[in-house]
Amino acid sequence: MPEVKLPEAGITFDSILYVVALIVAVAGVLVALVKGWEAYKKISVRDKVQAVDNRCAALEGRMKRVEARLSLGDKRFDLQNDDMGHLLNTQMALMLHFVSGNDHDKLKEQISALSEYMTQRATKAAAYAAENEQIRNGGTNE
């Protein structure tokens, strides 16, 4: 068998260029992967921030509805106190007329005023119930 001679393995300029090109290509791919990962993380954080902002906006809306309801409750309490004072004054006048035996026409006027007051009170109670229902359904009275 004839003897086969292999060329001598030497370092040539072309082989150095090939290795350098390979190293640069691998480094370029790694840099692209790192930059892509950073962009992905920024987008992920941005989505989380947006979700938190949406949640805060929803909570802010709920707080405004609660504040409106509390404000409405305060107004109703003031109205009820005024109404109760009016009712007590009317009842006191009726009792005085009854005890003193004053004119029956005046007594009838007082009874009429009390009936009118009770009708107004029932109307206000119905309006209050309607406003409460509107608040429960998510609306506000502004």
Ranges of each domain in the chain: 13-136
Q: Is 138 left (phi over 0), alpha (psi -120 to 50) or beta?
A: left
The closest alpha carbon to 141, from 76, 54, 77, 83, belongs to: 76
* Alpha-carbon span 132 to 140, nearest angstrom: 9
* CB-based contact 114:91 (threshold 8 Å): yes
Tens-level pLDDT at each residue, the chain (142 residues): 567 665 566 677 788 888 899 999 999 999 999 999 998 888 887 888 888 888 888 888 888 887 777 777 667 766 666 766 677 777 777 666 666 666 667 667 777 777 787 778 778 777 777 777 777 676 554 4
* CB-based contact 70:139 (threshold 8 Å): no
The whole-model pTM stands at: 0.34
